[in-house]
Structure 1
């Protein structure tokens, strides 16, 4: 029985689904906190070596400079010419960054950060970057591990486990005794982020009717954006990194009540031959939506429970590339995940230097994304394919145009970069919805998981993209332009999924080609009864 037809009868977005979305959206605020908090906890305030006064000058033989900074501070430059031995040195023979008297930091903006506590500056600055990379690697690992586990054990249990990991390790990070323990704990938080983001999204998608399915991605994006904005206020009020880490992590323990309120995915239960348990959840949803199950549907249930059924083969990520159409669609979707996140973070790093207060900049970046999320609400109702294609084309074209703008027209170049970010942000919102509709139920979480893994790979590579400036100053923006344009062209090869039933099996994707190849025929069970049930329930199903 097609689960989308069941949703038509019991309500595709009734009271049950609206309450479910409340439970899905609340954690998104805290996910944004954890994703972006390193902007503040790992910030590098103006600093100088205690062995040098603010007005001191270094040996002219090494051309060291004292840079202007807020609050009358001067910052010792960590960049100097190399001597013959290959070491960068001060006039007293100490390498730059090896401050014998210890570093002193400005407290104008931050009371403390991980940088000020563990002196992650100059020759130790790479450790700060390493922590960010390891956190992003945690997101990648979580995408792979929790994607596979969710397809095997269900969406609900993985969400609960991920929320517990996030709360426990997030709070523990606030009490980390040293940098290495802190980095390990942040890695674990990163894995949990992927577990919650992917499975909450898929759970909402699998309970939502085809006409309202886009809400699964867009509504959650709004709450992530809300967390983006709220973090600026929370960080402004809490300037100590340990207290800030504790403030964003401790509320996670409140989600313990999800054990009693978060439902299972009936679609996943049916796809995994847990029919009786699935119908129990469907009954509760129907009752809450005010559309109790009809006798015809109950008869279908009895048939499914007592009739002879074929033993279904277990599916794995190999099924994503085993058959022709599934392979083509999977590889394209994986590239779209990678390109979207690579360019999204690449642009964010490139246009973030507004010369304004860091808290105000954070809030502006959150606000800029809201129009991009909003416009997708109007386009996704009619088409997924054209929306994805168009926003990728807008983002890529705007980025490419920046390379033709003279450097003295910095405002115009910034406006084009913001248009590029607008297009990529909208495209990133769409790919969540599109992916869930392209992958069939039996491998949907595996598909989303590998897609998320490709996205995290893009996130890790985004900072490295700017190393290309040594080849050409325009190289990063050329890459930011070409990657989305290639994705836009590849999107033409994907199917249109708007207002269509979600595929449940590989056969649903391959269609008659697979049936002819392996000689299988996909049975249609109780089609007449279901149409009758639709007539009795007052809902058209054909």
Structure 2
């Protein structure tokens, strides 16, 4: 919208107001990583064996070693089996010691864990043996919550505004995040996590639109990606917090309670003036713009404000608009790109316990590498444009996963170094997708479009935890999947238009950049 672009130039495209807004929107992104990856540290594998206290009724004076020798079979490596036991019998102790027990069965009375082990999800809810699948299932249910949030809050944000949706999501994440620390059953835990995930998803996609719509053309990548560096810092904080607090309930409280501090957003968070204009709420938009100009120590020409109006009557956007002629190609390709981004990003993130080194240090490295990955995108996007960076980074992320297949398991350092490089490229391509999608979709369906892309990313996130256990059939299967999908999808980026230096479109009739900027058939 020409009038709105003129107003942004007059009030300052990246002044004090935009910087303060970026800082405000960085705070929830700083806290979101806890909800996304903390469970990895709550289900750390510990030694365990079946509870065979039944034998104490006939041998109350047995030592622990004698009890285990009589009631637990041994594996080929000489260690006690963790998931099986000898079937209980009605014999006396002398008969048991004389003849021994032969029939085995699965654990029937629970498991025993080291007494010094702090309470964790694994020990409190017995996420071992046949129940270990519940851990992967809970991660997939969390990803399903992210999908639900993208679907609901993406559309809702285009209908009722960015500000109310962000406030609602902060409230939901605060209440249910803290509630997780007090759940009595693992199924309640999974349900609460799903609700929290929906709020996390709503925050992430709303932040992108709100930042994008308040800054000038040349500052869009910088604003979005600097805000997203808070997510990288949050990941490093999760590693330190998890290392210092081993009790999972206390860890959940420490990671969730700070979100309540963001309730002051009710008084300070502005609505998107661009969105207000597209909805015909011109007077509200003028007030917000005047406040922004005052914060930037600028004055808006009265005549310019009076001219503020949509260039033409703009109808409300709908989900179906994403699949009309002008937007169909963009919608389909960007949905696939986000799916590929997510499958490789979460594939590497959730495999942190499988790389052979200390998980806390590995996670710290994963978080640390995200910071330069996001910052470097600011320069890459300005130097090379969105299309080239998106395609090349996605291709590299996939290739690194494929290379990991050929590294022997007895080389944990080499595997971890490659995984960190893969996390760098996966983070960079995901960050690029947030900027690119926000620029490709017009204002009236921007949140709906980004929400749809986020939904596809969450589908991949649901699948990622279910793909990881396939390594029991062959260790190469998970990384082969995580690597091949990005490689294939990267090639489709050739068909996308370039958006570098192009003003945001506001309705579906303006979704494509000008002809001289499109060059949809050129990649290099």
Alpha-carbon contact 1:437-1:502 (below 8 Å) kept? yes
Query: Would you say 1:210 and 2:211 are equivalent positions?
Result: no
Q: Deviations over 1:503-528 (max 9, x none)?
A: 11111125799xxxxxxxxxxxxxxx
CA distance in 1, matches of 2:141, 2:478: 23
Describe the SS at the equivalent of 1:95: strand
Alpha-carbon contact 1:373-1:429 (below 8 Å) kept? yes
- Aligned CA distance change for structure 1 residues 189 and 299 (closer, same or farther; 3 Å): closer
Partner of 2:521: none
Choose the corresponding residue for 1:459, options 445, 454, 461. Answer: 461
Q: Which runs of 5+ in 1 are unaligned?
A: 69-74, 81-89, 514-542
CA distance in 1, matches of 2:41, 2:473: 31
Alpha-carbon contact 2:355-2:415 (below 8 Å) kept? no
Q: Deviations over 1:119-152 (max 9, x none)?
A: 2222322223322222221111111011111110
Per-residue deviation, 1:326: 0.6
- Aligned CA distance change for structure 1 residues 511 and 139 (closer, same or farther; 3 Å): closer
Per-residue deviation, 1:12: 0.9
Query: Would you say 1:95 and 2:97 are equivalent positions?
Result: no
- Aligned CA distance change for structure 1 residues 367 and 310 (closer, same or farther; 3 Å): closer
* TM score, norm. by length of structure 2: 0.86
Q: Deviations over 1:161-211 (max 9, x none)?
A: 100011111111111122222222111111111111111221111101111
Q: Deviations over 1:286-331 (max 9, x none)?
A: 1111221113303313xx49xxx865332211100112x3100111
Partner of 1:330: 331
CA distance in 2, matches of 1:249, 1:277: 34
Count how many residue pairs are aligned between Structure 1 and Structure 2: 489
Partner of 2:46: 45
Query: Would you say 1:116 and 2:123 are equivalent positions?
Result: yes
Describe the SS at the equivalent of 1:318: helix
Which deviates more from structure 2 when the two are superposed, residues 124-133 or residues 164-173?
124-133
Per-residue deviation, 1:23: 0.8
Which structure 2 residues correspond to residues 10-29 of structure 1 after superposition, within 5 A?
Answer: 10-29=11-30
CA distance in 2, matches of 1:471, 1:111: 32
Describe the SS at the equivalent of 2:497: coil
Per-residue deviation, 1:67: 7.5
Alpha-carbon contact 2:30-2:230 (below 8 Å) kept? yes
* TM score, norm. by length of structure 1: 0.83
Choose the corresponding residue for 1:508, options 497, 507, 510. Answer: 510
Alpha-carbon contact 2:339-2:458 (below 8 Å) kept? yes
Partner of 2:114: 106
Alpha-carbon contact 2:286-2:305 (below 8 Å) kept? no
CA RMSD after TM alignment = 2.8
Q: Which runs of 5+ in 2 are unaligned?
A: 54-63, 86-99, 516-524
Per-residue deviation, 1:59: 8.3
Which deviates more from structure 2 when the two are superposed, residues 370-379 or residues 158-167?
370-379
- Aligned CA distance change for structure 1 residues 156 and 58 (closer, same or farther; 3 Å): farther
Which structure 2 residues correspond to residues 100-499 of structure 1 after superposition, within 5 A?
Answer: 100=109, 102-106=110-114, 110-301=117-308, 304=309, 311-323=313-325, 325-350=326-351, 352-382=353-383, 383-403=385-405, 412=414, 414-466=416-468, 469=471, 473-499=475-501
- Aligned CA distance change for structure 1 residues 240 and 94 (closer, same or farther; 3 Å): same
Describe the SS at the equivalent of 1:507: coil
- Aligned CA distance change for structure 1 residues 65 and 268 (closer, same or farther; 3 Å): farther
Alpha-carbon contact 2:137-2:465 (below 8 Å) kept? no
Describe the SS at the equivalent of 1:509: coil
